[in-house]
Chains A and B, each alone.
Chain A
Amino acid sequence: MSDPVLPLGGAHYEGLADVRETGPQGMIALRGDLSDAGLQEAVTGLTGVPMPDMRGAQVMGESGLLWMSPDELLVLVPYRQAARARAQLAEALQGQHALVENVSDMRAMFRLRGTQVRDVLAKLAPVDFARDALPVGELRRTRFAQVAAGVWLSDDTTAQVFCFRSVAEYMFNLLRTAADPDAFVGFHTG
């Protein structure tokens, strides 16, 4: 197996938040009937996390389940296991109207850390990033400036952002600009 190459080689910027390109992350797009018991058993068994509710982000380490839409999950697995996990899920869902695809290499991921994380994110998306509007563990699909993005907070000072690989550099530059130390806001603190 060839070595995976991160879109930006693990880019890093330290400002209002610590912005770091992460990955490679195994990602499997799954479309199907999310209420089906067999499907739920397959994805929770594979990842070891509970089935997410609407907009839920159930993530533990490199494994997890992101609720993308009423009929779509993004299944997170360690990168090296993605091909096998895809085959396993396809097997488990045989006979169902479902789609399973390994999209690991289609994506870029970034981790933002620090007390200013909600302020940094709020500069880029038309989203209410207040604690009660976007609690920890809730996925928000949106746009960051001009590109589609997904974001969730894994704890109060850590955000995970993902987007298409083709716009990785654009996304990193956005995050870096929003995290410029001269652009302190201080709205979401406390």
Chain B
Amino acid sequence: MEMLTLECPYCGVQADETELHAGGEAHLTRFGPGSSDADFEAYLFMRENPKGVHFERWRHVNGCGKWFHAARCTMTLEVFGTYPAQTAEPPKKIRDAITAKRPGWTWRELS
């Protein structure tokens, strides 16, 4: 059975999937009170479902407790990198690592 292992960027542990809590898609922009119905609906319900490069939020729940980000391939489970939660988009280092392995990748407005 294939298991996913992610390195927690806060405590450096190679965390097994079962020590983590999946937090869904990364880098969503929150639309709240005062936003348009379309923006609010997209924020609540519209998610990427790629076969390939994906960006996600994870929490090291059976561990240091911190939320972080991961970039991985949904098809092969290859992990391109993990990075802290305090960023609105993947850092250049992560994007470069993906480009090296998946030239021409796109995800939402990123490439």
Residues of A within 8 A of B (CB): 54-55, 68-70, 72, 126-128, 140-143, 148
Within the assembled complex, what's the spacing in Å between the Cα atoms of A55 and B63? 11
Q: Are A148 and B13 CB-contacts (below 8 A) given A142-B19, A143-B18?
A: no
Residues in B lying within 8 Å of A, measured CB to CB: 3, 10-14, 16, 18-19, 62-66
Q: How far is the CA of A128 from the CA of B16 in the complex (A)?
A: 10
* Given A69-B64, A148-B62, A55:B11 Cβ within 8 A: yes
CB pair A142 B63 closer than 8 Å: yes
Question: Which of B13, B16, B65, B66 sits near A55, CB closer than 8 Å?
Answer: B13
Q: List 21 A-B contacts (CB under 8 A).
A: A55-B11, A55-B12, A55-B13, A68-B64, A69-B10, A69-B11, A69-B64, A69-B66, A70-B10, A70-B11, A70-B64, A72-B64, A72-B65, A126-B16, A126-B18, A128-B14, A141-B64, A142-B19, A142-B62, A142-B63, A143-B19
Of the candidates A54, A128, A148, which one forms a contact with B11 in the assembled complex, judged by CB atoms under 8 Å apart?
A: A54
With both beta carbons as reference points, the residue of chain B lying nearest to A68 in the complex is identified as: B64
Q: What is the bound-complex CA distance between A69 and B65, given in angstroms?
A: 8
- Distance, CA A22 to CA B16, complexed state (A): 29
Chain A residues with Cβ under 8 A from B13's Cβ? Answer: 55, 140-141
Which single residue of chain B is at the shortest CB-CB distance from A55?
B11
Q: A55 vs B16: C-alpha distance in the bound complex, in angstroms?
A: 17
Q: How far is the CB of A68 from chain B (nearest CB, A)?
A: 7
